[in-house]
């Protein structure tokens, strides 16, 4: 397929309404940095919706779960900036009832064989980690991540797999942590956990891909240097979230890897991809799936 030059066109950009995404994309979207002549048109959706759009190659640039990206490396390249990965950032499996927690502790993974588990999407990295840690967990119920706590409280499911800001709210609702899947990953694979990254469609010409990568890094660096500048944009898309939770979310998911993956970040992604291929969860990946850095 021949590449398309987007130098004179708008770039469609998919990302979620979560504070970490709106924080890093604010400067890029609102003229606070040099975008090198590029204009970005945002498509703000739930991460699993973005994963599905990516499968259909609907967006030029998009946030993507690393689990979903492992299936799509022949269509997209990973940008060096914008990723969400790190330590202590993994999804949590939670429940409403102490007896469910006790059953898990006493019967190991057998307790999950027939119970309903709400997940934030089949292509999310959270679901990949759940499959890795508890392969017996088969009865999964995909739903919006923001609906999982209420599904538990209303006894619609026995367990819920939570991501994003729900890490900060589940306890105040009386819900109980069963397992931290981030800790599971760190203890078994000794690396940061890759959650989501920003990818660019391979149909864009290479010059434009590099330009987008530079502009995105500039946007992340501006956000770090001017943390209050993005407040209105972040607040606009986090209206039901307290300001404290909003900033906890940003502090947790935006870090050095968001500026640049670096060697450590790249190794973590290769570890996840190699593990997924070995377990036949995902197909073989394109070896050039990360955009090379320019000197």
Residues classed as catalytic = 164
Structure tokens at 90: 């993994």
Residue 279: CB atoms within 10 A of its CB come to 12
**Cα(92)–Cα(183) distance, rounded to whole angstroms?**
9
User: 250 Cβ partners below 8 Å, 6+ apart?
Assistant: 19, 20, 23, 227, 234
Distance CA 188, CA 185 (A): 5
Q: Which two tokens stand for residue 127?
A: 């679901």
For 111, phi then psi, to 5°, come to -65, -15
Residue 265's H or E segment, with its range, is helix 262-278
Beta bridge partners of 200: 61, 77
d(CA 150, CA 113): 22
In 3D, which of 230, 206, 196 has the Cα closest to residue 33?
Answer: 230
Q: Are strands 76-78 and 176-180 parallel, antiparallel or unpaired?
A: unpaired
């Amino acid at each position: 397929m021949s590449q398309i030059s987007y130098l004179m066109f708008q770039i469609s950009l998919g990302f979620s309404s979560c504070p970490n995404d709106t924080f890093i994309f604010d400067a890029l979207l609102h003229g606070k940095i040099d975008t090198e002549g590029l204009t970005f048109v945002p498509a703000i959706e739930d991460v699993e919706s973005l994963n599905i759009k990516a499968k259909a190659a609907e967006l030029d640039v998009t946030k993507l779960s690393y689990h979903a990206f492992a299936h799509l490396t022949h269509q997209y390249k990973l940008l060096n900036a914008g990723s969400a990965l790190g330590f202590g950032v993994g999804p949590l499996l939670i429940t409403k009832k102490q007896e469910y927690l006790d059953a898990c502790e006493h019967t190991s993974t057998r307790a999950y064989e027939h119970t309903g588990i709400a997940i934030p999407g089949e292509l999310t990295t959270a679901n990949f980690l759940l499959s890795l840690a508890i392969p017996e967990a088969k009865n999964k119920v995909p739903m919006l991540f923001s609906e999982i706590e209420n599904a538990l409280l209303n006894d619609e499911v026995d367990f819920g797999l939570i991501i994003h800001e729900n890490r900060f709210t589940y306890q105040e609702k009386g819900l109980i942590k069963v397992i931290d899947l981030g800790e599971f990953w760190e203890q078994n694979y000794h690396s940061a956990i890759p959650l989501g990254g920003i990818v660019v469609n391979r149909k864009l010409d290479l010059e434009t891909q590099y330009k987008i990568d530079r502009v995105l890094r500039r946007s992340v660096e501006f956000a770090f240097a001017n943390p209050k500048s993005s407040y209105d944009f972040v607040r606009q898309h986090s209206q039901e979230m307290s300001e404290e939770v909003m900033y906890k979310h940003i502090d947790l998911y935006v870090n050095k890897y968001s500026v640049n993956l670096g060697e450590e970040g790249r190794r973590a992604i290769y570890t996840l991809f190699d593990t997924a291929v070995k377990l036949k969860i995902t197909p073989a990946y394109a070896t050039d799936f990360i955009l090379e850095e320019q000197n």
